[in-house]
Amino acid sequence: MIVNRALLSGLCAVMTLIPVATQDAGPAAAKTLPRAFVSIKDVNGQYAFSPATLTIHVGTKVVWTNKSSAPHTVTGTGGWSFSSAVFGGNHSVSHVFKRAGTYHYMCSIHPYMTAKIVVRA
Ligand SMILES: [Cu+2]
């Protein structure tokens, strides 16, 4: 059995290396959306989305990560009806932007936290 395990682990090591060359094409690649990131930071008790303005292209998945200890939301304003659930520290929420435009949002818990996503075609 020891010999077989060694052979198996050797085989696995080889197999994990092989697919790398073929990952650029095919259905798996099509499912991978471009992503962009916003963090929520705590600067002396004032929470903020960073960056406050993020510019992306249509089809990008934006991921907001809460790097503070307080709970927050991502809540659309000015006609954008999106609203995330409340999410705590070290948790993330995301949204895929499918149309060009400027999307303003805030945190419903801390309304002074405002930011926007600019989506280009
Ligand atoms: Cu907040």
64 with 49: CB under 8 angstroms? yes
pLDDT over 90 at 106, yes or no: yes
**Centroid of ligand 1 to alpha carbon of 71 (angstroms):** 6
Confidence (pLDDT) at 3: 45
**Centroid of ligand 1 to alpha carbon of 81 (angstroms):** 18
**Centroid of ligand 1 to alpha carbon of 47 (angstroms):** 6
CA 44 to chain centre: 25
Answer whether residue 28 is part of any domain: no
Confidence (pLDDT) at 33: 92
- For the chain, how many structural domains are there in total? 1
Answer whether residue 25 is part of any domain: no
**Centroid of ligand 1 to alpha carbon of 33 (angstroms):** 27
CATH number at residue 87: 2.60.40.420
Mean pLDDT over residues 106-115, rounded?
98
What distance in Å separates the CA atoms of residue 104 and residue 106, rounded to the nearest whole number? 7
**Centroid of ligand 1 to alpha carbon of 2 (angstroms):** 55
**Centroid of ligand 1 to alpha carbon of 86 (angstroms):** 9
pLDDT over 90 at 7, yes or no: no
Answer whether residue 40 is part of any domain: yes
Q: DSSP string spanning 41-64?
A: EEETTEEEEESSEEEEETTPEEEE
Answer whether residue 2 is part of any domain: no
Taking only the tens place, the pLDDT of each residue in 9-64 is 444 444 434 344 444 455 555 578 999 999 999 988 899 999 999 999 999 999 99
Confidence (pLDDT) at 101: 98
Higher confidence at residue 102 or residue 21? Answer: 102
Answer whether residue 49 is part of any domain: yes
pLDDT over 60 at 108, yes or no: yes
